[in-house]
Structure 1
Amino acid sequence: MTIEMSWWGDDNRAALFAEVIDKFEAENPDITVKQTPVGAPDDLFNRLATDFGGGGQTAPDVFALGGAKPQEYGSAGALLDLGTVADIVQADKYPDFSTTAATVDGTLYGLPTGGNATAAFVNVDLFEAAGVPVPDASWSWDDLIEAANTIGKAGLTTASGAPVYGLDLRIQDIIGTYAAQQTETGIYDFDGKLAVDADDIAGLYEKEVELQKGGGLPDPSIITAGWALPPDQQLYTLGQAAVTFGYSNLIGTYGAAGETLILPPPTDGDTAGVALLPSAFWAINANTKHPEASAKLVDWFLNEPAAAELIKDTRGLPFNPDTLAVVTPLLDAPGQAAAEYVQGVLDSGVVAPPQPDGGANMNKYSQDAETEVLFGRQSPQEAAETWVKNLSSDLD
């Protein structure tokens, strides 16, 4: 029998997946896999829209989905209920919070390729140079503010003479985690509405004001210019900041700045608010003529040690703990640190609802509010109320 598999990515990924498929076919000689890689996610999504618009018979048997697509296609009945092949794909290996975005009304329609989690990155060298104790996983927001302000006022510079700041902050990288510290689910609830109120969001902007007044942040113009910078151009990577927030897979890039420690973000409560964010999901066409063969292929990519040894963390760190245990020893030192961090999140992370329709402007609204606060045009409370008003309107 022949089944078709499609994904997006560059030529290197296509070559890697071809090698994985070769091993699969060697173990399953009755199954031939037709490979149809595409360059960009939209290339695949456009094809799927056409195929499923015509009934789905021409769509691939197995394909990658990202963002809200598992919810969209699952709700439309286009995806196979993985409960029907649960034993083959080993769905029970995956923590509930790693599959939330692919679950509709209790039915699982996709399994994550892997993913990453929001983390704090600490430049140990800069902390030591400023005489500030290096934090650990128990740190609070007050600990961060005190440390960042002390380092920002220490007069440190890089080898080229550039100033060193306490915190390199991009509001969009931490606001969801901060919200989850307040609500345990994050910005949204499971009904697609806001789970936070203006007081919750104002708390984060109030902390930013403390950092601004205390010397822990760069000038607001530098902060706003840094929103869209790639990781290798950010202040932290250039050795100009002692702390930043980002995804765990960035530890290799951020490590260029010096000895880097990966920690949960600071918190004032019992939860760090961290959720694992899948890179993509493997899903199966509901119209496939070969559901068991398709399920075997998904299982091979996600759970087979021989495949894991090839794929490693190229699609995010595996969420199946058994697969993660295979991959971790094969990673370099920064990758192993990220894997250890992700394992901790697997054990204790929050369950974050998927981004609902209408949530696309959340980052923009967060940046707009930050601009108003940092340039002194609005108080944190005023900016947060505008944020809630705008996002609530979009969700409605």
Structure 2
Amino acid sequence: MAGALAVVLLTAGCSSGDADAGGKTVIDFTWWGDVSRAERYEEAVAVFEKENPDIDVRTSYGAWDSYWSSRNVEAASGNLPDVMQMDIAYVTEYGSTGRLAPLDEHIGSTIDVSTLPDTLLPTGQIDGTTVAIPTSTATLATMVNTDLFTELGVDVPTEPLTWDEYDTLLGDLATAGASGDPTVYGSVDYTQIFWLFQIWLGQQGKTMFDGDALGFDESDLATWWERAQPLHADGTFMPPARLTQLEGVDALGIGETASEISWDNFLVRFSEGSRSGTLELLQPPADDPDQSGLFLKPSLLLSVGANTEHPEESAKLVDFLTNSPEVGEIFGMSRGVPSSSSAIEGFEPEGLDLQILEYEQSLEPYLTSSPPPPVSGFGTLESTFVRLSEELGYGTMTVDQAVEQWFAEAESVLAS
């Protein structure tokens, strides 16, 4: 990790405007993620460079927060990397301000999108202009450690649960695990997940956004955050202080929680924990099973900086990382289910990869279409939501205070 961080620091100031090395075209590529993702990207880039010996790809990566802090600084100075991993939360913010290069001129020639589902490509478009290519999909799932359930004497659900039933299940797990070493909690606080709140709103027949305005009111957010209060009070949720101590380690992976709601592709990451046991994917809670609120979200997208001096070479890398069967084999389902049919053809899913694929396929009757790119400032609203949720977990503010602060932030962001 120290070596990888050193590489990040060394390459962070590089730009595509530097002189080409040894007659090769140099492009910069950056992403967020853990060491496992970095190893996979490095392997994929090595294959790309072998197939394109005239292109040298300089790589760097960072954790989620530091990644976007760096991109914000670069965007302000017009010095974004040639190719960057993009998230749907930031597509509008970067794409609507001219910081991302339009990719339509490369589509059909350098970038093949015929391999992608028709409903997915619009998630990377701003007013009909393509500024990001979705490489994979993911949706939220309830993950359960079935070995730990057995150890605690709690039955694994066989049918979809309502929200109250899920909370009761988490309470049973925490009660049974209270005397263990280590202590086992039901879950981390799921009300801190902004996208899960969006799914819950869909279950209520509402949306996060209605055009450029919010599609819900203060009472909805209060109802959502109030779910967590008794679960913190009785020890069902892992205490936030303990979660902070585990920074960089997944509570489910080390067996200190028995269930968590998270993105289905995280199954691979969680399973690499020291006490992950056997993990199973279940549908998230819903009070009406026919109103799941679920959708396929682009788990990752790729964009090209508008300031690139090498648009064609950058487009080549985007196409390769999206469509190459070899890249599909390298990543499996760790980035999510590959959006490209040609990438999926590169490997035969088995084990955890097959479990993720089958889970998403099982949800097809309940899924809505993929969400459009969120409004500009979505990333800010998500960060504020998470921060206020954490303060609620610590008990440093009331639900009413948190709701008031978030809506004040939303009003400011949406008005700008």
Same fold (TM over 0.5): yes
Aligned to 2:277: 258
Aligned to 1:128: 150
Sequence identity, in percent? 20
Work out whether residues 167 and 216 of structure 1, in 8 Å CA contact, stay in contact via their aligned partners in 2: no
C-alpha distance in structure 1 between counterparts of 2:195 and 2:206, whole Å: 6
- Pick aligned residue for 1:21 from 48, 63, 66: 48
C-alpha distance in structure 2 between counterparts of 1:22 and 1:324, whole Å: 21
| Cα separation, partners in 2 of 1:2 and 1:76, compared to 1, 3 Å | farther
Aligned to 1:217: 236
Q: Which has the higher mean CA deviation after the structures are superposed, 320-329 or 135-144? A: 320-329
C-alpha distance in structure 2 between counterparts of 1:228 and 1:187, whole Å: 35
Work out whether residues 138 and 337 of structure 2, in 8 Å CA contact, stay in contact via their aligned partners in 1: yes
User: Displacement, 1:261?
Assistant: 1.0
The answer to whether structure 1 residue 282 and structure 2 residue 303 are counterparts is yes
Aligned to 1:318: 338
User: Displacement, 1:275?
Assistant: 4.5
User: Displacement, 1:187?
Assistant: 7.0
Aligned to 1:181: 200
- Pick aligned residue for 1:341 from 348, 356, 359: 359
C-alpha distance in structure 2 between counterparts of 1:322 and 1:198, whole Å: 45
- Pick aligned residue for 2:96 from 65, 75, 90: 75
C-alpha distance in structure 2 between counterparts of 1:36 and 1:186, whole Å: 44
C-alpha distance in structure 2 between counterparts of 1:203 and 1:153, whole Å: 25
C-alpha distance in structure 2 between counterparts of 1:290 and 1:208, whole Å: 47
| Cα separation, partners in 2 of 1:45 and 1:384, compared to 1, 3 Å | closer
Name the aligned partner's letter for residue 230 of structure 1: E
The answer to whether structure 1 residue 249 and structure 2 residue 265 are counterparts is yes
User: Displacement, 1:111?
Assistant: 0.5
C-alpha distance in structure 1 between counterparts of 2:214 and 2:307, whole Å: 32
| Cα separation, partners in 2 of 1:147 and 1:251, compared to 1, 3 Å | same
Q: Per-residue CA shift, 1:144-170, capped at 9, x if unaligned?
A: 122222333336643x3x333333325
Q: Per-residue CA shift, 1:24-55, capped at 9, x if unaligned?
A: 327xxxxx323232355466765565456xxx
C-alpha distance in structure 1 between counterparts of 2:411 and 2:268, whole Å: 39
Aligned to 1:29: none
User: Displacement, 1:266?
Assistant: 1.0
Q: Which has the higher mean CA deviation after the structures are superposed, 363-372 or 96-105? A: 96-105
C-alpha distance in structure 1 between counterparts of 2:284 and 2:59, whole Å: 37
The answer to whether structure 1 residue 140 and structure 2 residue 167 are counterparts is no
C-alpha distance in structure 1 between counterparts of 2:166 and 2:128, whole Å: 39
| Cα separation, partners in 2 of 1:268 and 1:326, compared to 1, 3 Å | farther
The answer to whether structure 1 residue 305 and structure 2 residue 325 are counterparts is yes
The answer to whether structure 1 residue 114 and structure 2 residue 136 are counterparts is yes
Aligned to 1:55: none
| Cα separation, partners in 2 of 1:253 and 1:39, compared to 1, 3 Å | closer
C-alpha distance in structure 1 between counterparts of 2:99 and 2:118, whole Å: 22
Aligned to 1:169: 189
User: Displacement, 1:285?
Assistant: 4.7
Matches within 5 A, 1:36-75: 36-40=58-62, 41=67, 50-51=77-78, 62-67=82-87, 70-75=91-96
Q: Per-residue CA shift, 1:212-236, capped at 9, x if unaligned?
A: 57x56157xx2354257336352x3
C-alpha distance in structure 2 between counterparts of 1:146 and 1:20, whole Å: 49
Aligned to 1:273: 294
C-alpha distance in structure 2 between counterparts of 1:72 and 1:205, whole Å: 27
Work out whether residues 328 and 339 of structure 1, in 8 Å CA contact, stay in contact via their aligned partners in 2: no
User: Displacement, 1:328?
Assistant: 5.2
Aligned to 2:222: 202
Aligned to 2:14: none
Q: Per-residue CA shift, 1:336-367, capped at 9, x if unaligned?
A: 32343355568825516436324242211222
Q: Per-residue CA shift, 1:81-101, capped at 9, x if unaligned?
A: 333333242334434665565
Work out whether residues 103 and 110 of structure 1, in 8 Å CA contact, stay in contact via their aligned partners in 2: yes
Work out whether residues 73 and 79 of structure 1, in 8 Å CA contact, stay in contact via their aligned partners in 2: yes
Work out whether residues 115 and 279 of structure 1, in 8 Å CA contact, stay in contact via their aligned partners in 2: yes
C-alpha distance in structure 1 between counterparts of 2:101 and 2:138, whole Å: 26
The answer to whether structure 1 residue 150 and structure 2 residue 172 are counterparts is yes
Unaligned 5+ segments in structure 2 are 1-22
Superposed CA RMSD: 3.9
- Pick aligned residue for 2:408 from 376, 379, 390: 390
Q: Secondary structure at the match of 1:356?
A: coil
C-alpha distance in structure 2 between counterparts of 1:388 and 1:48, whole Å: 26
- Pick aligned residue for 2:386 from 352, 357, 363: 363
Aligned residues: 369
C-alpha distance in structure 2 between counterparts of 1:371 and 1:394, whole Å: 26
User: Displacement, 1:7?
Assistant: 0.8
Work out whether residues 189 and 228 of structure 2, in 8 Å CA contact, stay in contact via their aligned partners in 1: no
The answer to whether structure 1 residue 94 and structure 2 residue 116 are counterparts is yes
Aligned to 1:56: none
Q: Secondary structure at the match of 1:246?
A: strand
| Cα separation, partners in 2 of 1:5 and 1:105, compared to 1, 3 Å | same
The answer to whether structure 1 residue 239 and structure 2 residue 262 are counterparts is no
C-alpha distance in structure 2 between counterparts of 1:287 and 1:154, whole Å: 56
Work out whether residues 130 and 154 of structure 1, in 8 Å CA contact, stay in contact via their aligned partners in 2: yes
Work out whether residues 20 and 301 of structure 1, in 8 Å CA contact, stay in contact via their aligned partners in 2: no
| Cα separation, partners in 2 of 1:194 and 1:259, compared to 1, 3 Å | same
User: Displacement, 1:295?
Assistant: 3.9
Work out whether residues 144 and 281 of structure 2, in 8 Å CA contact, stay in contact via their aligned partners in 1: yes
User: Displacement, 1:254?
Assistant: 3.3
| Cα separation, partners in 2 of 1:17 and 1:367, compared to 1, 3 Å | same
Aligned to 1:103: 125
